[in-house]
Amino acid sequence: NGEREIQKRTEKESSVDSMLRQADLFVKSKFFPPYIDTKEKALAVMLTGRDLGLTFTEALRSISIIHGRPCVEIKSLLGLAMKSGEFEDMQIKEGTDFCEVTIKRKGRSPITTRFDDSEAQKMGLLGKENYQKQKATMYRWRCLAKNLRMTFADAISGLYLQEEIAEEVVIHTDKDSGETRVVEVLPEAL
């Protein structure tokens, strides 16, 4: 029995050693976001991704660490829910001052969440630039994340949206692809 424990420990250590070597190569490649600038940061993202069932490259492309917490974009949260094989349907209703999301998980009743001006006001979000420029998008993200935390808590494992954790964020839209991504602006950079 002691021999098995030593073998398990050795396999685990070699697995971490192997991952550290891979993490170092990923950092040196500069293929991933610039905030993944050490092999230790890359390893933390890789391990978080592994826990979520993501490949290392998927994790490095989609998981950020902001204030020591793993964060993702909404498409990643939604992707994790869909990968579960339990995602059945989603409906989104939007108005000028609200968003309502209904998600149905297989074998369960649909769950509806709402995010509106009153909630944004209470959270101090209405004055933020992103909420002034892209109110409908920001409400949709918040409402969808709120719903996924209830309907697919097991699949998303407590992840938050990047913009929920960062003190301030800037949304960049790629001119060619039209894809948006959130970039953290640290308080000392303001």
Residue 190, pLDDT score: 29
Identify how many contiguous H helices and E strands the chain contains and give both numbers.
9, 8
The Cα 43–Cα 139 span in angstroms is 33
Residue 181, pLDDT score: 55
Contact between 64 and 70 under an 8 Å Cβ cutoff? The reply is yes
What is the distance, to the nearest Å, from the Cα of residue 61 to the centroid of all Cα atoms in its chain? 10
Please give the C-alpha separations between residue 48 and each of 29, 79, 140, 159, in angstroms, as whole numbers: 20, 15, 25, 10
Residue 187, pLDDT score: 36
Q: By CB neighbour count within 10 A (0-12 exposed, 13-18 middle, 19+ buried), where does 106 fall?
A: exposed
Per-residue pLDDT of the chain (190 residues; tens, 9 = 90+): 666 665 555 555 558 888 899 999 999 998 888 888 899 989 999 998 988 888 999 998 888 887 778 888 888 899 999 999 999 999 999 999 999 999 999 999 999 999 999 999 998 898 888 888 999 999 999 999 999 999 999 998 888 888 777 655 455 556 676 665 555 444 333 2
| CB half-sphere exposure, 180, CA atoms < 13 A | 14
**pTM greater than the 0.85 cutoff:** no
